[in-house]
Amino acid sequence: MLRRPTDHEIASAGFPFAPTPHKGGLALDKPKKVSRAYFVDLLYSAQEQLVTKRGIKDSAMTRILVTGGSGFVGSALTKALRARGFTVIGTVSTEKGDFVRCDLTDPVLVSDVVSKAQPDVIFHCAAISSAIHPLHLEYYGTNVLGTKNLLAAIKALGRRTRFIFLSTAGVYGNQSVEELHEALQPNPVHDYGMSKLCAEFWIKQAVEFCDPTIFRPFNIVGPGQNDAFIVPKLAKAFAQGERQIRLGNLDVYRDYIEITAACSVLADFIDQPAAIGETINLCSGKATSLRELIRAFQAVAGYEIEIIQDMAFVRTNELWRLIGSREKLDRLSPRRMALRSVQEMARDMFDYYKEQHATTLRPLRARFAADSA
């Protein structure tokens, strides 16, 4: 996975004088001036030898762009990639910390960001990811046209780029089989799933200039997830000692995978040639009912909570059973990180929100104690 050397790297390498062979600290040939194109070819050759010798996963020369870098998955993935020694540039739609601003709906800005980043690998995580977003057109503006803008920017680089896209298991919709496998005809029931399916289509058309892999994540969960989603919503309620909780449909089944394991799988596929052009489920392959999930949190918290079924949370286009087949994932990545049980995930989420709740209460308790003194 080679990238074009920057002007600084070219100058630092000694341009316009070509590197000369050495022996015992002495140059065997006199330095000679060469053209810029020839010099860049020499640097490409050096990169190729390094990547061949060490593998891309160990190459400090690899630059990775993560769109949606401050989001739940994007931030965890950025952390995981940096831990492996990669240079990572994260993007956000609005100014935030050391991230690069990149509004995917602005083709000029997207092109500028990609051109400056010169990535070898792109993880496209940015999206409107809630299935109940009120402004339906925004799904297609961000998830579809935003992806097209990103692909156009990649094409403009003039070289092949590894492209890993996070779609959604929601593209499957309701199917007649127990486990959802990648060969099924998609049948999305909401705009989120439909917009991701449209993005998948455009990515498949881009194989002439990039090396894509499409992942269809099922329910990725973990600390830091938006508590509008069911698992953090339950964790937060139990951690705060709530006695009641309002929920929608209770008889649904989901496939949960913990965020650390999910990011480990994604990072493993940077250097997986067999996955290029493939669509792969990112899943555990295990069905967990909402009632079972509630029981797991009750066991961790040590009490039972009253469930109130609220029609405001009931979806008319509900996905009743969303369980992935992991056959292809097992075949392509047989030695990936071991998955954690639902009970272990519930414990992690409960502890996270318990600490958050305690942190929020500490200054209030200190103020109360001061007022009472």
Half-sphere exposure of 116 (CA within 13 A, CB side): 12
Bridge partner residues of 308 (DSSP): 246
Other Cβ atoms closer than 10 A to 90 = 28
CA distance 333 to 322: 22
Pairing label, strands 306-309, 256-258: unpaired
CA distance 58 to 222: 27
Half-sphere exposure of 256 (CA within 13 A, CB side): 21
Helix (H, G, I), strand (E, B) or coil at 266: helix
The DSSP H or E segment spanning 311 is none
Pairing label, strands 219-221, 22-23: unpaired
Bridge partner residues of 212 (DSSP): 163
CA distance 232 to 353: 8
Bridge partner residues of 161 (DSSP): 210
Bridge partner residues of 22 (DSSP): 27
Give the active site residue among 139, 172, 192, 253. Answer: 192
Clarify whether 192 is annotated catalytic: yes
CA distance 78 to 88: 7
The DSSP H or E segment spanning 151 is helix 146-156
The DSSP H or E segment spanning 81 is helix 72-83
Query: Among residues 204, 101, 93, 99, which one has the least CA distance to residue 151?
Result: 204
Distances (CA, A) of 125 to 71, 78, 146: 8, 11, 11
Sheet containing 210-217, strands listed edge to edge, beginning at the edge strand earlier in sequence: 100-101, 87-92, 63-67, 121-124, 161-166, 210-217, 279-282
Q: What amino acid positions are annotated as catalytic residues?
A: 192
